[in-house]
Amino acid sequence: MGEFTKMYAVSNGLDFEEVERAEQRLKGVAHRTPVLQSSTLNAWLGAEVFFKCENFQRVGAFKFRGGYNAVARLTPEQRARGVITYSSGNMAQAVALAARMQGVHATIVMPADAPQAKKAATQGYGATIVEYDRQLDDRDSLTRQLAAEQGLYFIPPFGDEGIIAGQGTAAKELFDDVGTLDQLYVPIGGGGLLSGSLLSAKALSPACQVFGVEPELGNDAQQSLRQGQLVRIATPQTIADGAQTQSLSTTTFNIITQNVTDIVTVNDQQLLNMLRFFAERMKMVVEPTGCLAAAAAVQAAEQIRGKRVGVMVSGGNLDSVQLCKYLALGQALQCQPDTV
C-alpha cells in the first residue's frame, strides 16, 4: 500500500469544520445510530469490529445526513426554486424527506428499475419522480437539463460539499463513541460517504487506515486511484444498487485519491453471505450495498487480526421479496478462529 500513502489534503477548502457545522444542523433531526459488535465475528477474526449501523438512520440509510445538510445550507431563493437530484434510491429518499421537512419541493431522477420500495418511499415523502433507463440514459445530463428547463436547484448527490460534510458526521459519531481505530472500511458509490469519513478520520483518528469498498464489477474508484485520473465505466451489473455508479465526482475523486489508504472490492456472493450473517447472527436487515464494508473486513481477515476496525453499514432498504430472495442465495460464513 506504500504508493497510496495518505497525505490528508482536502479539496475545495472542504474540511472537518464543515463536518462539525453539519453535525449542529443535524442535531435533533438525524438519529445518532448505534455502534454494534458481534462476539461471534470478533472471535472468528481475532479483532474488535465496530459496526456503525446507518441502516437504522432515517430513510434507512446514511444519506439522510447529507441530504438534510445540503438542503439546510440553501438560500431562501434556492429553496423557493425547488431542488432536483438523481439517485437509485437512498439519496432519493433522503433529499425527498429533507426537502419536505424544510418546506422545499423535490424532483428526483430515478432509474426505472430502482427497487420499488425505494421509489414508493420517495414518492411518499412528496417528491416528483422522473424515471430514466439506467443502461441507455446519462442521468447527470438529464438531471441538469431538467434543472435548466424548470429552474430547479441541482444538488449533486455525492459531489455537493453539503452532502459530503453531512455524510462525514456518521464517521465522526463512530470515532466519538469508540475512540481511535486502526482501520475503517467504507462503502463507495459516488464517494460522498468515503470523502466525509476521510475528513473525520483525519481529525479524530489520524493514524487510522481508511479503505473504500466497491463491488468487484463496479470498480471505477479503484481504477481512478490506480491511474491517477477520473475513470468512467459502464453501469455495473451488481446487486449493490447503491454502488451502480459510473464514476466519482471531481470533488470526491480529489479528496479520496489524496487521502484514502486503498480501494478494495468484493463480489456479489460475498455481499449475499454478509447479508445473511447480519440477518441470522445480528438480527438486522442490511441491503447489499450496506454489506460492502463488512464483506471487505471479513475478506481482509489476516490483515485485521488484533486490530480495532470500524465498518460503515450504510443502509438497510430491502423489501420483503428481495430479502427472502437474497437470504436464500446467501451462504453461511464458514469462518473459524485461526483458519479464517
- Write phi, then psi, for 265 (nearest 5 degrees): -130, 155
Cβ-Cβ contacts under 8 Å for 325 (sequence gap 6 or more): none
Q: Is 88 a catalytic residue?
A: yes
Cell numbers 470500524 correspond to: 310
Compute the half-sphere exposure of residue 321: CA atoms within 13 Å on the CB side of its CA: 3
CA 2, CA 20: separation in Å to the nearest integer? Answer: 31
Catalytic residue among 6, 52, 63, 119: 63
Contacts 24+ apart (CB under 8 A), 23-26: 23/169, 23/172, 25/68, 25/69, 25/72, 25/73, 25/166, 26/65, 26/68, 26/69, 26/166, 26/169
Which of 11, 87, 88, 195 is an active site residue? 88
- H-helix segments, 28-137: 39-45, 63-72, 76-81, 90-101, 116-124
User: What span, in angstroms and rounded, lies between the C-alpha atoms of 256 and 159?
Assistant: 12
202 counts as catalytic? no
Residues involved in catalysis:
63, 88
